[in-house]
Structure formats: structure tokens, C-alpha cells
């Protein structure tokens, strides 16, 4: 490029284009010409600072800045923005201090403070943010909408919605940026009804809403699972002819997914004219959130066919789908995949790995995934704490909880579910009550039915069933079937037959079709030799036409899932499997196994019942695992129902005679059988 032939104006226009397109190479050639020029040009040099800032070279921008014989406020604010957008917000704040010392600077303007406040947000530097707030109030810069919005944002980041609200209300008039920020602020801090009030208050200005407003409002519908509002907004977007960009499109898919309308999510996705990794991930997430994990995994293959590359969120969705399926081996494969493509270091992926390994029964791998993380957030801690608890490792869970407090992390609603479960594993009644009544209260967390159910379980485990019943009577909450079944199951374990009978009657009044309750109460009466009661229950079941949901277990061997149902004869290796079961049963009988025929609910002769027990699906799956994996390898089995007492006893002994770890995920929890013991301590 010939320097002399290009006018100053042309150079400026070219620079603007190069900055916009981030064409560093061409921009540099203009820089070369400016260096050769006989006179210094402030505006052109400011453009250069902007060029290097936007192209990811704040260091070079700084060199240009330092070499200037004369600077103004634009030079400074351009460099500040460079620092901010290249991950150096503290340098931006450092620079504003330097600028305020230099006398030849004009007064600070709104650009400088918008950037300074944004830097404070990024650093969560509330102290310095407050100083900026004071200055912009005094100088009147707060009336500039960019400044005001940066202020709003700063208060969101420091979780101070009240201050944000004051800033928002201090300036009259409609500003779509401020509205969008406020909606997202309310949704982000869980104040959904405030968000809804704000949005309905702004419905008259609907013609001023833009894309971002719709994305924010769709997020509100998703967070509040308000499908009706979602429909209205979707309809309004269509009627107003809002162009579908990829943000709005993904927002619609996500909204339908989170509201549980998977068909609409799928349709909205198919109709998108432009799809990117975000829209693909959104629709995969929609499937996964609604329990359609295999569909989500299938979509990943389809996405690959279209040449779309996954990102960290895609891996998180995939891993969570594996968690839903307890697909340990596939999860392992995605772990390797994420590592190779460089996404493993992302926190969302680390969190999803903890979740996947923990839900697939491999708590050791979950522990390692947690240990490998460079950065952790509350989700990471909650995942590992609840993971330990579900695996019966109460001590580890409480240790992690205390670690977390030491690191300054603030526990949440979910944290305390894990903590109370851990107290349950360890039988720590007083600790549990302390966490529920004092710790949670101090943090302002209102306990929910999950916490109360943990308390019931804890009291039951400690054998204080009367207290548990009292607790349920006098605690004001919407008790669900899980809680009632917890109490009933304890009545069986602790032989509280009268209470058990009362509880069962109560449950069956509320849930007359709950098979689990029939099984539990019938087992309980059998244990007490109350055969008249057992017969009554069977009659009741027959009268109400209640059929036991068939027990199904499955196991993954070399990437394939093998499904077993009771009395299943379809598997190609069934005769070997039955031989193996018989072999195992005679082995464990030698060390004291007595078949527990009360676990068979069918109306058959007692002699047949023992044979029947051998066909329970988890026994078949374990036998298949034993004959098809190398000796010493742990066996992972999933089951759709709660494990029965007989299988539980048998598997403990099987783990002893075969020297194998057997990990079973049943409908309630994990059982890790090792050397004749189970991690649930026979309480589930």
C-alpha cells in the first residue's frame, strides 16, 4: 500500500473497516505508515489502540498508548476496554487510577465509567464498584444509559438486587437494555414473581422489545416452567415478525424443553433455518431433561453428520445423559473425547463428570474427577457430597462439606440434602437436627420436603420411629409417597408392626395403586408370621387389580446393554446363566444363605417359591456379569425397582465367595457389595 497516495480520511475509514473485521494484518500496515508520518495524529493513533485491543493484543495497545506524545480520554478508555475484553479487568481499573492522576486529561466521561464498572462486575469488586457508583452519581454520568446499565450489571454480579432495583427506578423512561438486564437479574437470582411483575408491567411497551428481551422472557418462562406464558411469547414473536436469530431460536427450544413439552421443542428445533452448536445442544438438553437420554445421544451422532463440532456444554449434556442411563463405559468414552478436544478443563464438564461417575456407580472415579478440577463451584461440591451420601459414604460426605466451608463456599438447598443424607448414613440425629434447625435457618434456607424426608429417614435409622412419626405429624409440609414409604420401610426393619399397619393404611388411602407399599407391608407381616394379614393384602391387591411392575435389571458388557426380567428365558446364554445362578446359590448356602421366600408375592406353592427367587432379575444380571467379565472386575447392575431382601442377602454373600465388588443401582440408591457387606448397612 502506497502511503502518500492515501488521504488521512481514507486511512481512517480503512482502519475502521479493519477494526470491525479484526483484520490485524491490514491494520498493521496502516500502523507502519503512521510511524513514518512526520506529524503525530491523536485520532488515528486512538484508532490503533482500538485495533490492537479488539484483536486481542492489549499489550501492543499499551505500547502504542505509552509512545504517544499526547493522549486524551478516548486513548485511555479504548485501552481500558482492551484490558477488560481480554480478561484483564484489574489492569483496566489500574489504568483509570493512572488517568485520574494525569493532569492533562480531560474530565472522565461516560465511556470510561461504563468500562470501569464492567471491570468491577467481572472481578466482583464491589468495593471499587461502589466508589465508581459514588462518582457517577456526583458527576451526573449516571444518566447515561450505558453507565446505568453497567451499574445494574455490577449489582447483579454482587447479588444485590435491591441496589440494582434502586438504580433501575432512579431514571424514568424506557430503556430496552435496562429492561433486559433487570429481567435477567431477577431470573438469575430466582426472583421469578418479580420478573413476571416487571414483564407484565412492560407489556404496553411490547413494540419496543427486541431480540434480547424475548430471549430473556423465554428464559423466564423456562425458569418458572410456565408453558402458557411460553406459548404467548412464542406466538407474539411470530405475530410481530421478530426475525428468528440463533439466540431466539435456541431460547424457544430451551423453553419448551424446560417446560416439559418435548414435541414442541423438537418441532421448534427442526424449523430453525440456522442451527449452530448451541441450538443442537439445546435440543439434546431438552431430550435429556425429559428423561429421553438415548434420544439425546442419538442426536449427537446426527449433529456430527452435519459437521457441527461439540463444545463444553454439549459434553455436559452427553455426560448427563450417560448418568441418566448409568452408562459408565459410554461416559468414559465421552470423558476421553472431551479431554482430547480440550474441553475437559471447563467446569461444566468437570461437574457433569462427577455426576456421571457417581450415578453410574463409580464413586472412586467421581472422586478423581472432582480432584482433577482446577476450579470448582457450588455445583461441584454439591455433586460430590450427594454422590458420597448416595453411596453410603457419610463420613466422606461430611468431610467434603467441611472442606467446602473452609474454602468459603456457601452451602445451598441441595447441599443440605446431601448433608442430611450423610447424617442418616452415620445415624447422627443431633447433628442432623442442628443442620436443619440452626445452620439452614442462619443461611435463610427454607427446608423442603426432601430435607424433612432425610430427617424421617435419620430418626428411623436411629430406631426412633415414634419420634419420626411425631415429626411427620407436626412438621408442616406436603409429605409425599417417598417420605411415607421411608417410615413404612423402617417399621418393617425395626418390627414396629402396629405403626407399620397404620402407616400402610394411610398410604394406601392416598395412593391406592402404589405397588411398593403392598410389597413392603406384605413383607412386614410375613416377617411377623401374621399370615392372615398377608392374605388380606393379597386379596386387596387382587380386588384392586394391582399387578407388580415386572422387575427388570440390566448390565452393560463391552458396550452392549443386556436386559433381564424375572423368569426371562430370551438371553442367548440363558442356560449358562441359570447354571451360574445355581452354582452361586449352592456356594452361598454353605456359608449360611437361607432363601427368603416371603419375597415372592406370586400365588404359588412354597416349594416353587425358592426356585422362583433364583430367577430374580438382578441375580440373572449378576450371573451374566460374572461369566462374561474378567475375574476381579467390578460388576455394575441397574434395577428398576427396590432390591428385595432375599437378593440383598444373596448378593452380599456372592460378593464374598467370588471376591468381586458388585454395585447395584436400584430405584432408591446404590448398594456397593464388597466382601460380604453392603454400603447401605442393610438399610434401604
- Give me the residues paired with residue 554 across strands: 563, 638
Q: Is 317 in the site for DNA (CB under 7 A)?
A: yes
CB of 219 to DNA, least distance (A): 5
Q: Is 355 in the site for DNA (CB under 7 A)?
A: yes
Q: Is 578 in the site for DNA (CB under 7 A)?
A: no
Applying CB under 7 A, which of residues 271, 302, 377, 567 lies at the interface with DNA?
A: 377
Instruction: Decide the pairing of beta strands 635-639 and 662-665.
Output: parallel
Q: Residue 223 or 433: which CB sits closer to DNA? A: 223
CB of 78 to DNA, least distance (A): 4
Q: Is 151 in the site for DNA (CB under 7 A)?
A: no
DSSP state of 556: E
- Give me the residues paired with residue 637 across strands: 555, 664
Q: Is 212 in the site for DNA (CB under 7 A)?
A: yes
| Sequence-distant (≥ 6) Cβ neighbours of residue 414 within 8 angstroms | 382, 386
| Sequence-distant (≥ 6) Cβ neighbours of residue 163 within 8 angstroms | 155
Q: Is 302 in the site for DNA (CB under 7 A)?
A: no
CB of 134 to DNA, least distance (A): 19
| Sequence-distant (≥ 6) Cβ neighbours of residue 589 within 8 angstroms | none
Q: For residues 50 and 80, give the distance between their C-alpha atoms in angstroms, rounded to a whole number.
A: 10
Q: Is 146 in the site for DNA (CB under 7 A)?
A: yes
Applying CB under 7 A, which of residues 28, 94, 144, 548 lies at the interface with DNA?
A: 144
CB of 211 to DNA, least distance (A): 4
Q: Is 224 in the site for DNA (CB under 7 A)?
A: no
Region 104-133 residues binding DNA, contact defined as CB under 7 A? 109-112, 114-115, 118
Buried b (16+ CB within 10 A) or exposed e, 523-559: bbbbbeebeebbeebbeebeeeebeeeebbbbbbbee
Q: For residues 102 and 66, give the distance between their C-alpha atoms in angstroms, rounded to a whole number.
A: 13
CB of 102 to DNA, least distance (A): 15
Tell me which residue has cell 447392575: 637
CB of 216 to DNA, least distance (A): 6
Applying CB under 7 A, which of residues 259, 316, 472, 483 lies at the interface with DNA?
A: 316
Q: Is 72 in the site for DNA (CB under 7 A)?
A: yes
CB of 422 to DNA, least distance (A): 18
CA-CA distances (angstroms) from residue 66 to 29, 59, 98, 124, 590?
20, 11, 12, 29, 86
Region 639-678 residues binding DNA, contact defined as CB under 7 A? none
Number of residues that bind DNA (CB under 7 A): 78
| Sequence-distant (≥ 6) Cβ neighbours of residue 294 within 8 angstroms | 321, 325
Q: Identify whether the C-beta of residue 252 lies closer than 8 Å to the C-beta of residue 273.
A: no
CB of 416 to DNA, least distance (A): 16
Q: Is 180 in the site for DNA (CB under 7 A)?
A: yes
Strands across the sheet containing 662-665: 560-565, 552-557, 635-639, 662-665, 670-674, 677-678
CB of 118 to DNA, least distance (A): 5
Applying CB under 7 A, which of residues 30, 78, 132, 400 lies at the interface with DNA?
A: 78
CB of 128 to DNA, least distance (A): 16
Q: Is 351 in the site for DNA (CB under 7 A)?
A: yes
Applying CB under 7 A, which of residues 130, 159, 378, 541 lies at the interface with DNA?
A: 378
Region 328-347 residues binding DNA, contact defined as CB under 7 A? 347
Region 603-642 residues binding DNA, contact defined as CB under 7 A? none
Q: Is 281 in the site for DNA (CB under 7 A)?
A: yes
Q: For residues 282 and 276, give the distance between their C-alpha atoms in angstroms, rounded to a whole number.
A: 10
Q: Identify whether the C-beta of residue 649 lies closer than 8 Å to the C-beta of residue 591.
A: no
Applying CB under 7 A, which of residues 197, 210, 505, 682 lies at the interface with DNA?
A: 210
Q: Residue 443 or 510: which CB sits closer to DNA? A: 443
DSSP labels for 68-82? -SS--HHHHHHHHHH
Applying CB under 7 A, which of residues 168, 313, 388, 670 lies at the interface with DNA?
A: 313
Q: Is 360 in the site for DNA (CB under 7 A)?
A: no
Applying CB under 7 A, which of residues 91, 158, 314, 425 lies at the interface with DNA?
A: 314
Applying CB under 7 A, which of residues 64, 93, 136, 178 lies at the interface with DNA?
A: 178
Q: For residues 352 and 347, give the distance between their C-alpha atoms in angstroms, rounded to a whole number.
A: 8
| Sequence-distant (≥ 6) Cβ neighbours of residue 170 within 8 angstroms | 142
CB of 399 to DNA, least distance (A): 22
Q: Residue 24 or 176: which CB sits closer to DNA? A: 176
Applying CB under 7 A, which of residues 93, 222, 308, 404 lies at the interface with DNA?
A: 222
Q: Identify whether the C-beta of residue 387 lies closer than 8 Å to the C-beta of residue 399.
A: no
- Give me the residues paired with residue 678 across strands: 673
Applying CB under 7 A, which of residues 28, 57, 94, 211 lies at the interface with DNA?
A: 211
Q: Is 348 in the site for DNA (CB under 7 A)?
A: yes
Amino acid at each position: 500500500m502506497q502511503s502518500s497516495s492515501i488521504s488521512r480520511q481514507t486511512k481512517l475509514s480503512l482502519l475502521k473497516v479493519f477494526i470491525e473485521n479484526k483484520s490485524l494484518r491490514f491494520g498493521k500496515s496502516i500502523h507502519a505508515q503512521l510511524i513514518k508520518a512526520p506529524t503525530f495524529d491523536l485520532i488515528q493513533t486512538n484508532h490503533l489502540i482500538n485495533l490492537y485491543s479488539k484483536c486481542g493484543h492489549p499489550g501492543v495497545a499499551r505500547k502504542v498508548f505509552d509512545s504517544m506524545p499526547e493522549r486524551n480520554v478516548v486513548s485511555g478508555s479504548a485501552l481500558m476496554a482492551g484490558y477488560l475484553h481480554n480478561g484483564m479487568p484489574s489492569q483496566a481499573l489500574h489504568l483509570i487510577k493512572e488517568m485520574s492522576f494525569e493532569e492533562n486529561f480531560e474530565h472522565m466521561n461516560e465511556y470510561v465509567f461504563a468500562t470501569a464498572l464492567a471491570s468491577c462486575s467481572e472481578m466482583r469488586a464491589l468495593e471499587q464498584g461502589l466508589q465508581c457508583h459514588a462518582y457517577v452519581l456526583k458527576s451526573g454520568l449516571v444518566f447515561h444509559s450505558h453507565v446505568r446499565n453497567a451499574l445494574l450489571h455490577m449489582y447483579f454480579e454482587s447479588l444485590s438486587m435491591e441496589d440494582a432495583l434502586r438504580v433501575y427506578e432512579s431514571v424514568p423512561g424506557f430503556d430496552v437494555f435496562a429492561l433486559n438486564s433487570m429481567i435477567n437479574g431477577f431470573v438469575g437470582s430466582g426472583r421469578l414473581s418479580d420478573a413476571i411483575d416487571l414483564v407484565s408491567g412492560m407489556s404496553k411497551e411490547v413494540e419496543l422489545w427486541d431480540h434480547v428481551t424475548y430471549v430473556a422472557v423465554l428464559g423466564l418462562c423456562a425458569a418458572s416452567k410456565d408453558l402458557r406464558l411460553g406459548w404467548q411469547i412464542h406466538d407474539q414473536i411470530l405475530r410481530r415478525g421478530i426475525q428468528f436469530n440463533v439466540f431466539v431460536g435456541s431460547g424457544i427450544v430451551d423453553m419448551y424443553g424446560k417446560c416439559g413439552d418435548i414435541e414442541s421443542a423438537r418441532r421448534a428445533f427442526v424449523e430453525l433455518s440456522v442451527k449452530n452448536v448451541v441450538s443442537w445442544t439445546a435440543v439434546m438438553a431438552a431430550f435429556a431433561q425429559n428423561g429421553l437420554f438415548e434420544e439425546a445421544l442419538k442426536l449427537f451422532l446426527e449433529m456430527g453428520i452435519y459437521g457441527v463440532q461439540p463444545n463444553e456444554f454439549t459434553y455436559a449434556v452427553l455426560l448427563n445423559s450417560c448418568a441418566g442411563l448409568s452408562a459408565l463405559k459410554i461416559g468414559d468414552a465421552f470423558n476421553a473425547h472431551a479431554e482430547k478436544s480440550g474441553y475437559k478443563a471447563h467446569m461444566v464438564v468437570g461437574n457433569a463428570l462427577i455426576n456421571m461417575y457417581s450415578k453410574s456407580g463409580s464413586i472412586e472415579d467421581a472422586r478423581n474427577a472432582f480432584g482433577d478440577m482446577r476450579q470448582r463451584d457450588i455445583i461441584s461440591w454439591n455433586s460430590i457430597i450427594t454422590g458420597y451420601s448416595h453411596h453410603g459414604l457419610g463420613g466422606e460426605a461430611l468431610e467434603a462439606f467441611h472442606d467446602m466451608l473452609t474454602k468459603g463456599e456457601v452451602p445451598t438447598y441441595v447441599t443440605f440434602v446431601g448433608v442430611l443424607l450423610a447424617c442418616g448414613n452415620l445415624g447422627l440425629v443431633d447433628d442432623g437436627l442442628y443442620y436443619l434447625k440452626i445452620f439452614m435457618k442462619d443461611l435463610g434456607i427454607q427446608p423442603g420436603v426432601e430435607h424433612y424426608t432425610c430427617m424421617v429417614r435419620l430418626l428411623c435409622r436411629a430406631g426412633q420411629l415414634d419420634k419420626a412419626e411425631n415429626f411427620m405429624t407436626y412438621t408442616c409440609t406436603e409429605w409425599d409417597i417417598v417420605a411415607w414409604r421411608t417410615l413404612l420401610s423402617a417399621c418393617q426393619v425395626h418390627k414396629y408392626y402396629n405403626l407399620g399397619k397404620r402407616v400402610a393404611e394411610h398410604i394406601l388411602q392416598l395412593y391406592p395403586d402404589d405397588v411398593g407399599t403392598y410389597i413392603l407391608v406384605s413383607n412386614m407381616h410375613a416377617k411377623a408370621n401374621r399370615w392372615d394379614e398377608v392374605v388380606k393384602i393379597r386379596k386387596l391387591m387382587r380386588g384392586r387389580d394391582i399387578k407388580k411392575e415386572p422387575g427388570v435389571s440390566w448390565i452393560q458388557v463391552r458396550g452392549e446393554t443386556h436386559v433381564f426380567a424375572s423368569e426371562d428365558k430370551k438371553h442367548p446364554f440363558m442356560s449358562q446363566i441359570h447354571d451360574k445362578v445355581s452354582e452361586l446359590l449352592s456356594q452361598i448356602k454353605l456359608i449360611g444363605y437361607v432363601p427368603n421366600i416371603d419375597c415372592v408375592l406370586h400365588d404359588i406353592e412354597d416349594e416353587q417359591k425358592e426356585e422362583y427367587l433364583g430367577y430374580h432379575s438382578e441375580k440373572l444380571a449378576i450371573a451374566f456379569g460374572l461369566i462374561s467379565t474378567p475375574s476381579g472386575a467390578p460388576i455394575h447392575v441397574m434395577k428398576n425397582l427396590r432390591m428385595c431382601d432375599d437378593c440383598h442377602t444373596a448378593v452380599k454373600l456372592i460378593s464374598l465367595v467370588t471376591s468381586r465388588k458388585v454395585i447395584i443401582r436400584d430405584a432408591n440408591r446404590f448398594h456397593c457389595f464388597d466382601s460380604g457387606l453392603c454400603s447401605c448397612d442393610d438399610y434401604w
